[in-house]
Amino acid sequence: MKTFAALILGTAVAFASPALAEGEHSHSHSHDAKRGGKVVESGHHHVEVVTKDGAIEIYVEGEDGKPEDVNEAKAKATILSEGKKEDVILSPDSANALKGTGAFKAVKGTTIVVTLTMPGHKPEQIRVVLD
C-alpha cells in the first residue's frame, strides 16, 4: 500500500510541475555523485541530492560541471518515507548548496521530490528514490 501511495503522489507531483509540463525532462545519473548522493540532470542543471536521517542537502552545478550560485534560489523537498509525507524547505547554506532538516528517515525506497527554482529559470523538478 505504501508503494501505491508513493506512486500516486509521485504521479500527481509530476503532472503539477510547470517544468515537466513545458517538456523538460530529468534523468537519474548516479555515476557523477561527488558527495555520496544521487545526481539528477534537470533542465540546465545537475543536482546532487544527499540525504541522511533528518537531513537533506542539494548541490547544484551547471551543464559545464561548475558549481552554480544558489544564494537566490528557492527549493522545497517532498519526502515520502515509511508511509509518511514531509515537506522540507531547503535554504542556501553555501555557494552551491541548499539544506534542510526534518523528521524523516532516509531508508531504502524513500522517494524525494525536489522543486528547485533558480534565479531567471522556470521551476525544475528532481525526483530521487533511495537505494
Per-residue pLDDT tens digits for 26-36: 333 334 678 88
Residue 115: which of 71, 66, 49 has the closest Cα? Answer: 49
Q: What is the mean pLDDT of residues 8-21?
A: 42
Question: Count of domains in the chain?
Answer: 1
Q: What's the predicted TM-score (pTM) here?
A: 0.72
Between CA 19 and CA 121 the distance in angstroms is 10
List beta partners, residue 128: 112
Q: Which domain holds residue 62?
A: 2-129
Between CA 18 and CA 47 the distance in angstroms is 18
For residue 81, give the CATH number of its domain.
2.60.40
